Amino acid sequence: MTDVQVRDHYRATGLTERLKTALRALGPEEQRLTPPQLAALDQFHTRGLAATAELVELAGIAAGMSVLDVGSGVGGPARFLAASVGCRVTGVDLSEPFVDAARYLTERTGQGGQVSFQTASALELPFDDGCFDVVLLQHVAMNISDRARLYREIRRVLKPGGRFATFDVVSNGVEPHYPVPWARTPATSFLLSAAATRGAIEPAGFRTLAWRDDTAAAKAWIARLRAAGPPPSPNLGVVMGPDFAQLSANLTRNLMEDRLGIVMAVFEAVPIETR
Ligand SMILES: C[S@@+](CC[C@H](N)C(=O)[O-])C[C@H]1O[C@@H](n2cnc3c(N)ncnc32)[C@H](O)[C@@H]1O
C-alpha cells in the first residue's frame, strides 16, 4: 500500500512528453545535451549538482567502478557520475514515468552505453549479491518505512569493502510542514533522526567512513537561490508539476525552522558476521 502511495506522489503523468516540450528551450530534439545543461531539472535533492559532486568525491568513486543509484529519479546523478568519473551506472526507481523520463534524457545526452535504468523497488533489488562497488541513495530513504530492509538490501548487492553513499533528509523530532517535495501528506513520509538513521545503517553490515551534517550548507544554498531571483527554466517544476514551488517552499521553511536537517554520509560494507 505504501509503495502505491509513494508511486502516486511521483505519478508525473505524461512526464516524458512534458520534458520534450520544455527542452525545446535548449535546442532541437536531435541536438545532444550535456548533463550540466539538465541540472536544474534532473538533480532532485537539496543543493542539486553540487551535492552530487561532493557525495561522489566523498565516496571515492573512480573510473571503471560499477555503481547502483537507488531511487534514481529522472537520472541526473547517474548521468553526471558517468560523465564526470567514467563509471558504469545502473539506476532503479519505483516510478515508471521517472524511469521512462530517465531513459529519454539519457538518449538526449548520448550516454546509453554507460547508464541504464529499470523500474524496481529499493526493498527488492533485482540484482545478485555482491555485484556493485558503490550504491548511492540520495533523498529517497524518507519515502521508505522499512529502513532495516532497505539497508540490508543495499548491503546485499554491494561487494565486500564496497561503499554506500547516502544523502538524506532527517527529522529533528518536530512535525514538518506539509506538503514537501517527497510527500504531500505524512502518509508517505518516514523521516528518522540523524542518530536513528545511522543506528539503522550500521547493523545492516556497514562501518561509517564519513558523516557530515549538511544542514548549514543547505540553508546557505537556499539563501543564494533566493538572492538570485526566479529559478532557471526548465526546472524541477516540469517533473513535479505546478505545486512544486509550494513543496520546495515548505522544505525551505522546515530547514530554516530547524524542523528538518540534512546528512551526507559514506559507509564501507563489512562482513556481517564480524561487525
Ligand atoms: C526526491 S526523489 C530523488 C531522486 C534522485 N535520487 C535524485 O536525487 O535526483 C526520490 C525518488 O525516490 C524514488 N523512490 C521512493 N521510494 C522508492 C522505493 N521504495 N524504491 C525505489 N525508488 C523509490 C521515487 O520514485 C523518486 O524518484
Q: What is the pLDDT of residues 43-68, one digit of tens each?
A: 999 999 999 999 999 999 999 999 99
Q: Where residue 275 falls among pLDDT bands split at 50, 70, 90?
A: very low
Question: What pLDDT does 52 receive?
Answer: 98
* Per-residue confidence band for 273, with pLDDT thresholds at 50, 70 and 90: low
Q: How confident is the model at residue 1 (pLDDT cuts 50, 70, 90)?
A: low
Count of Cβ atoms closer than 10 Å to residue 85 Cβ: 17
The answer to whether residue 216 scores a pLDDT higher than 90 is yes
The Cα angle at residue 54 between residues 49 and 57, in degrees rounded to 5:
125
pLDDT of residue 136: 98
Ligand 1 centroid distance, CA of 73 (Å): 5
**H or E segment and range at residue 131:** none
Ligand 1 centroid vs 203 CA: distance in angstroms?
23
The residue contributing the CA closest to ligand 1 atom 8 is 44
Asked whether residue 274 carries a pLDDT value surpassing 60, the answer given is no
Q: What amino acid is encoded at 214 in this protein? A: D
Neighbours of 73 (CB within 10 A): 26
What is the predicted pLDDT for the residue at 272? 78
Q: In the block, which residue shows the cell 539563501?
A: 223
Distance CA 178, CA 218 (A): 19
Q: Which atom of ligand 1 is nearest to the CA of 3?
A: 19
Q: What is the pLDDT of residue 11?
A: 77
Ligand 1 neighbours by CB, cut-off 6 Å: 3, 6, 10, 43-45, 71-73, 76-77, 93-95, 98, 121-123, 138-140, 143-144, 181-182
Q: What is the Cα–Cα distance from 108 to 122, expressed in whole angstroms?
A: 26
86-104 residue pLDDT tens: 999 999 999 999 999 999 9
Angle at 60 between CA 59 and CA 65, to 5 degrees: 105
Ligand 1 centre distance from Cα of residue 142 (Å): 9
Per-residue pLDDT, averaged over 100-128, amounts to: 98
* Ligand 1 atom showing the smallest separation from residue 7 Cα: 25
Mean residue pLDDT of the chain comes to 95
Q: What average pLDDT does range 242-254 have in this prediction?
A: 94
Q: Which of 49-53, 147-151, 240-244 has the lowest mean pLDDT?
A: 240-244
DSSP structure class, residue 176: P
Distance CA 44, CA 167 (A): 11
pLDDT at 232 (0 to 100): 83
- In three-state secondary structure terms, 90 is strand
Q: Residue 182: pLDDT above 70? A: yes
Q: What is the pTM of this model?
A: 0.96
Does an H or E element contain 243, and which? none
CA dist., res. 259 & res. 109, Å (int): 38
- The percent of residues above 90 in pLDDT, for the chain, comes to 89
Q: How far apart are CA 86 and CA 136, in angstroms?
A: 16
Ligand 1 centroid – CA 71 distance (Å): 3
Cis status, amide bond into 232, omega within 30 of 0 = no
The Å distance, Cα 122 to ligand 1 centre, comes to: 9
Q: Is the pLDDT score of 167 beyond 80? A: yes
Give distance in angstroms: CA of 273 to centre of ligand 1.
Answer: 30
